[in-house]
């Protein structure tokens, strides 16, 4: 089979990126603005609502970070991974729907925390399913393909949502348009998850029956896995580096709209610039995936981290809408690539029969433990009264991640 031709199971797995990416795009471009408008109507300042938003993002993923390894260890038993994935994705889509039926600032923040928790939990199992649907030699491309179609596929409901919000069909005001958009996105999330539910199966698993004292056994297994990670230089150092640089990536995703709003970029410019990010990311991810044989995944990841450091520095001096567009394009060039290649890089390192457990640690130390970045941005914004210093502080995460990842031995080599 051609390396670039996907099987039905690989395509079904990748479609979940289309499903959940619609939520992330709305979370990035629309929900923060809606939250800020309700917050300001309730008497909070722009800096205070940005600070609250950062804390909410940290809380939702913090709880998943605590539970991810435990849930992953449970999912490694035969037949458990699909059930846990289904539970979390349904709860996530349901809480997103509930966000449409409240006009309370505090209730909206609470529902968003639940949604972020369930979204992150479902993605923990989704990432681990990468091991089940493809082989090591195809993993970089399959992972990248998922991110690529996720970016372009999420644009479809997003454009519909933007039309509903700004064109005011049926005489709806902006607030009603946002609430309708939340329902549309939840339905999209559900419908494009169906191929994953129907066709993807757990290929690698622990074959023994779950013991009578399940939690005690799982906790004992977790202790053994922690010792194994500490003893394996590649896995341990990779996870530490990933913790820092991907926390920065997720912070840029979640906080960029709030930052742009604070420095005076109007809502239309914000939304259109972020849509351009999605469009740019689609070919960029596939291009870098095809360049892996020539440059290696490690070098491409390091290059992407350097681009993010430049983005943070440029963001500090941002004054005009066209500069936000430049930032959006730069983010689009590397955002999907660094996420996709990190996922597949880690997937090639871990024991296949315990992949869900290992991906639990992958998430607690990195991808969905988005704690430090929003917290840094929240604290520095609150201390200085300016979001610019919050964005600048995120560069520290990328710098630490870059120097740690340089020391990670390349796949197939004892040192690099």
Task: Write out the DSSP string of 42-69.
Answer: TT--HHHHHHHHHHHHHHHHHHHHHHHH
What pLDDT sits at residue 413? 42
Q: CA-to-CA distance for 344 and 341, rounded, in angstroms?
A: 5
What pLDDT sits at residue 410? 73
Can you name the residues that pair with 164 across neighbouring β-strands?
none
What pLDDT sits at residue 306? 94
Total Cβ atoms within 10 A of residue 33: 19
Q: Are 125 and 343 in contact (CB under 8 A)?
A: no
Regions of the chain short of the pLDDT cut 70: 1-4, 61, 207-215, 218, 254-264, 366-370, 411-416
Q: Where are the alpha helices (DSSP H) in 317-386?
A: 321-347, 355-364, 372-384
Note the Cα 232 to chain centre separation in Å.
26
Q: What is the pTM of this model?
A: 0.77
Give the burial class of 174: count Cβ atoms within 10 A of its Cβ; 0-12 exposed, 13-18 middle, 19 or more buried: middle
Q: CA-to-CA distance for 73 and 61, rounded, in angstroms?
A: 18
Q: CA-to-CA distance for 19 and 195, rounded, in angstroms?
A: 10
What pLDDT sits at residue 10? 93
What pLDDT sits at residue 213? 62
């Amino acid at each position: 089979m051609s390396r670039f031709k996907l099987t039905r199971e690989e395509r079904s797995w990748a479609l979940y990126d289309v499903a959940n990416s619609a939520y992330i795009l709305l979370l990035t471009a629309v929900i923060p603005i809606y939250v800020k408008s309700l917050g300001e109507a309730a008497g909070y300042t722009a800096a205070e609502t940005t600070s609250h938003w950062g804390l909410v993002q940290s809380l939702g993923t913090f709880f998943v970070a605590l539970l991810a390894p435990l849930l992953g260890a449970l999912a490694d038993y035969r037949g458990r991974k699909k059930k846990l994935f289904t539970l979390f994705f349904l709860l996530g889509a349901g809480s997103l729907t509930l966000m449409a039926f409240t006009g309370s600032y505090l209730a909206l923040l609470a529902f968003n925390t639940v949604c972020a928790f369930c979204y992150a939990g479902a993605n923990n199992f989704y990432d681990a399913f990468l091991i089940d649907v493809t082989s090591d030699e195809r993993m970089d491309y399959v992972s990248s393909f998922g991110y690529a179609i996720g970016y372009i596929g999420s644009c479809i409901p997003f454009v519909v949502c933007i039309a509903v919000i700004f064109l005011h069909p049926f005489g709806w005001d902006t607030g009603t348009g946002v609430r309708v958009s939340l329902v549309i996105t939840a339905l999209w999330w559900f419908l494009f998850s169906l191929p994953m539910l129907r066709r993807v199966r757990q290929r690698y698993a622990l074959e023994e029956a779950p013991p009578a004292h399940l939690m005690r056994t799982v906790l004992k297994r977790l202790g053994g896995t922690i010792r194994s990670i500490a003893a394996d230089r590649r896995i341990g150092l990779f996870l530490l580096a990933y913790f820092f640089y991907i926390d920065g990536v997720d912070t840029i995703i979640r906080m960029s709209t709030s930052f742009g709003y604070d420095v005076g970029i109007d809502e239309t410019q914000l939304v259109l610039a972020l849509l351009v990010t999605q469009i740019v990311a689609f070919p960029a991810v596939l291009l870098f995936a095809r360049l892996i044989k020539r440059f290696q995944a490690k070098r491409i990841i390091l290059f992407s981290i350097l681009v993010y450091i430049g983005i943070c520095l440029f963001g500090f001096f941002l004054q005009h809408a066209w500069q936000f567009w430049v930032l959006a394009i730069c983010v689009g060039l590397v955002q999907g690539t660094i996420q996709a290649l990190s996922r597949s890089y880690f997937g090639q390192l871990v024991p296949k029969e315990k992949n869900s457990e290992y991906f639990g640690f992958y998430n607690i130390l990195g991808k969905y433990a988005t704690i430090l970045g929003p917290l840094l941005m929240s604290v520095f914004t609150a201390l200085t009264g300016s979001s610019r210093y919050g964005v600048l502080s995120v560069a520290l995460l990328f710098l630490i991640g870059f120097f740690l990842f340089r020391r990670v031995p390349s796949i197939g080599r004892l040192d690099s």
